[in-house]
Amino acid sequence: MFVIKVAPTSAIDGTGAAEDMKRFLFALLHATRVLSLVSWFNRGRVTILCYHSVLSTDEPATHDPHKQHIPLGLFLDHLSYLQNNYRVISLNEFVKARRDHRRLPDYSVVLTFDDGFEDFFTVAAGHLAQRNLPATIFVITDRADGSLPPNGESFLSWQEVQKLAASGTQVGSHTCSHPALLNLSFDEVRRELADSQTAILNHMTEADVPLSYPYGQTSAEISKLARSLGYSCAITGALGPNGSDADLFALSRTVIASNDDVATFAARVSGLTWWAGKLRHSIEPKHRRELEPHFSPCYGSVPAETYEGS
């Protein structure tokens, strides 16, 4: 007999019956081990998970429109699920294996954190270290410099970034100021990518600096530029796991929302939501897909639901 527990979204984010139905479906698929079967089918692919902020309490953030600030207890539940079902590897290990054409162990996943929120240092890093789990943080370097005006949230300083790097956390670039790169001139894009990379290299001894494109936006020209500047890899906003033929400068990722319960998290990590998104894309009228917004106009990274359409 299966017991399925679903927290109503009205108590979490007010998104209503459709969200509750989705959670019920994920809970059912998780309880009946269908998600384990999906995970088995995708076992040879590497999922890059994207978090943002980890709160110090188990209470949801009072204002979290883009579902970026995950309560600590829920985050720890996610980590326990990964440790029981997957193998967490570093982004460097993934990149090296791709370059060497070497197959990684099945069920490999990578942990990344966008934007460089200060609570990675004060909250998340200690729990990751206790579990011996590697992670990569993508820093907005103008934030670390303190040269961007405050926006009500706290970001890592260079001193904190250096301490994290010294303890084994990989540091990557999220550009200088987190702009929508597709709206900039080529010279402006070059400055955002080159100057942020230089800032990271000037503050630590990192040899390989990865890049996370703001809002997940890139183009063939921008990806080529990132490669030419010497970045080790670059991550887009495209949803899904990465196969052995994945372009290192157009890697896919799976964004985790701050209210993802374990069943929803399991659905995302397994690749189910990626499959669902591909199916929806294939059957949805072309004119409707073209009208849908793909990137958030606000400062923060694109929320998880934007990528997945679920």
DSSP 8-state symbol, 301? P
What's the count of helices (H) and strands (E) in the chain, helices before strands? 14, 10
**Residue 271: is it exposed, middle or buried by C-beta count within 10 angstroms (0-12/13-18/19+)?**
buried
Please tell me the distance from the alpha carbon of residue 294 to that of residue 127, in angstroms, as a whole number.
33
Contact 133, 169 (CB under 8 A): no
Partners of 251 in the β-ladder: 235
Q: How many domains does the chain have?
A: 1
pTM for the whole thing?
A: 0.88
Residue 29 lies in a domain: no
Find the domain containing 218 and state its range: 45-308
Q: Is 272 a domain residue?
A: yes
| In-domain check, residue 31 | no
Highest mean pLDDT of the ranges 15-19, 70-74, 202-206, 281-285: 70-74
- According to the model, what pLDDT value does residue 15 have? 56
pLDDT bucket at 227, cuts 50 / 70 / 90: very high
Q: 11: pLDDT confidence band, cut at 50, 70 and 90?
A: very low
Share of the chain above pLDDT 70, in %: 86
Does the CA dihedral 228-232-237-239 come out positive or negative? positive
Six token digits for residue 23: 């959670």
Who wins on pLDDT, 284 or 27?
27
Confidence (pLDDT) at 280 = 76
Does 67 score more than 80 pLDDT? yes
Is the residue at 13 inside a domain?
no
* CATH code assigned at 186: 3.20.20.370
Identify the pLDDT of residue 207.
82
Q: pLDDT band at residue 98, thresholds of 50, 70 and 90?
A: very high
pLDDT of residue 249: 98
Report the pLDDT value the prediction gives residue 205, as an integer from 0 to 100. Answer: 83
In the predicted model, is pLDDT for residue 2 greater than 50?
A: no
Yes or no: say if 130 and 152 are a contact pair by the CB < 8 Å rule.
Answer: no
Say how far apart CA 36 and CA 53 lie, in whole Å.
28
Report the pLDDT averaged over residues 207-220: 96
12 is a domain residue:
no
In a domain, 237, yes or no: yes
pLDDT category of residue 285 using cuts at 50, 70 and 90: low
d(CA 310, CA 152): 29
pLDDT digits (tens, 9 = 90+) for 36-63: 999 999 999 999 999 999 999 999 999 9
Inside any domain, residue 233: yes
Which residue carries 């139905």 as its tokens? 21
Q: What is the pLDDT of residues 168-180, one digit of tens each?
A: 999 999 999 999 9
pLDDT higher for 229 or 308? 229
> What per-residue confidence (pLDDT) applies to 303?
41
53: its two tokens: 């902020």
Is 25 among the domain residues? no
